[in-house]
Structure 1
Amino acid sequence: MADILFFDAPEPPPFEPPLRRRLRRNSEILVALLSALLTATIAFGVALVVIALFYEGDYISFGPGGLWFGLPPDAGAGRVALSAFSAPQRLAGAFALTLLIAPAAYILLCLRKLFRLYSCGVVFSPGNAQCLKQTGLGLIAYAFAPFCANRIAILAAVGNDPSWFHLYEIQAAILGALVFVIADVMRCAHEIEAERDGFV
């Protein structure tokens, strides 16, 4: 008599609403894009710091607006060869560049974490709110970074760029404050969802 084997039928996958499925798919695309932007930002920042510290040629100079590529030193335009600065001055310049680039990299990192949560189906959670608050903090740091970099340049006698202040710094500070409020809204939504799931 032949043995009869019984196999458990596989459980059907849980139903996922089309809106949530689209959110997951779009978030995966954004995670890949943000990862590429983060990598490019870090690589660009490291390259600028290395140039500020070690470049000795004539085709990169420093003047109003920061580093100038492809233009030789020009006293009339305020551009000075990097080799004219002392090692402490170049170190201060590299630190100022790091201050300018670090907030942008931090914002991209926080947004990548947020959309990675979305791509995993996590929409309303304390983790989402925390990522948003970190993004808001990064935006506020981005707003104040030019001021700090300008003060460092003045203290190190590297230069004084009178046009360091821009409107987008105010916009970044306001956006950072708004993101903080949105994070609190996200936390409230999580509490409402938790109450709804716990209601019998």
Structure 2
Amino acid sequence: MANILFFDTPAPARLESPLRRRLRRNSELLCALFSALLASATLFAIMLVVIALFYRGEFITFAPGGLWFGRGPDVAAGRVALSCFSTPQRLAGAFALTLLVAPAAYIFLRLRMLFRLYARGSVFSPRNAHCLKHVGLGLLAYALAPFCANRIALLADVGNDPSWFHLYEIQAAVLGALVFVIADVMLCAHEIEAERDGFV
């Protein structure tokens, strides 16, 4: 009696298109870039907080526009030495500075996550759209942060920056709204891709 052996049929190799390979390669580079930007923003925020809380010299001052490095106090220019502020005022200043940097760091974090997904070959998944929506939230927070920081400075009697409002805040808000729409477009693309893969 002959023995019959059955072998599993190997699954056909799924060739990756040149466009997909290029997307993965470029996404790896952008993931590394946003990782570096995230680390830089985090270190910068920590440095600002430490300076705002503990610096006692006169080569870093506070004035309209933020912290000034390498310039001493100047009453006419509105520059005040950090040592003149009380501990609660310093805490409020440190919180305001963190509020200004945190949205940018959050945007870099979410963009790094998004391009990591692209680098792994995930293009139209719900996770991609989720990351994009969080980028949009980060942009909206970036647009609102200067107003909030200015109000905190006023409440703490640290100072008043009359030129806190800038055009880039409107641009960030508009871009944040656009990113939300793009995220929904990606969800629609995911549904189309799922229907195509499920079609027999």
Normalised by the length of structure 1, the TM-score is 0.94
CA distance in 2, matches of 1:75, 1:195: 68
CA distance in 2, matches of 1:128, 1:11: 28
Are positions 1:129 and 2:165 aligned together?
A: no
Partner of 1:74: 74
CA distance in 1, matches of 2:47, 2:58: 17
Corresponding pairs, count: 192
Q: Which whole-Å deviations, capped at 9, do the CAs of 1:96-148 have from their partners, x for residues lacking one?
A: 00100000000000000000000000000000000000000000000000000
Partner of 2:54: 54
Are positions 1:36 and 2:4 aligned together?
A: no
Unaligned stretches of 5+ in structure 2?
1-9
Partner of 2:6: none
Partner of 2:163: 163
Partner of 2:27: 27
Amino acid at match of 2:124: F
CA distance in 2, matches of 1:13, 1:94: 56
Secondary structure at 1:68 match in 2: strand
CA distance in 2, matches of 1:94, 1:197: 52
Amino acid at match of 2:57: G
Deviation at 1:72, TM superposition (A): 0.3
Unaligned stretches of 5+ in structure 1?
1-9
Amino acid at match of 1:14: R
Amino acid at match of 1:140: L
CA distance in 1, matches of 2:34, 2:182: 21
Secondary structure at 1:61 match in 2: strand
Deviation at 1:11, TM superposition (A): 7.9
CA distance in 1, matches of 2:14, 2:178: 36
Q: Which whole-Å deviations, capped at 9, do the CAs of 1:21-55 have from their partners, x for residues lacking one?
A: 00000000001111001000100110000000000
Amino acid at match of 1:95: F
Secondary structure at 2:61 match in 1: strand
1:171-186 → structure 2 map (5 Å cutoff):
171-186=171-186
CA RMSD, aligned part only?
A: 1.3
Amino acid at match of 1:61: T
Partner of 2:87: 87
Deviation at 1:13, TM superposition (A): 5.2
Are positions 1:116 and 2:108 aligned together?
A: no
Deviation at 1:14, TM superposition (A): 2.8
CA distance in 1, matches of 2:92, 2:11: 62
> Which runs of at least 4 in structure 1 moved beyond 4 Å after TM superposition?
10-13
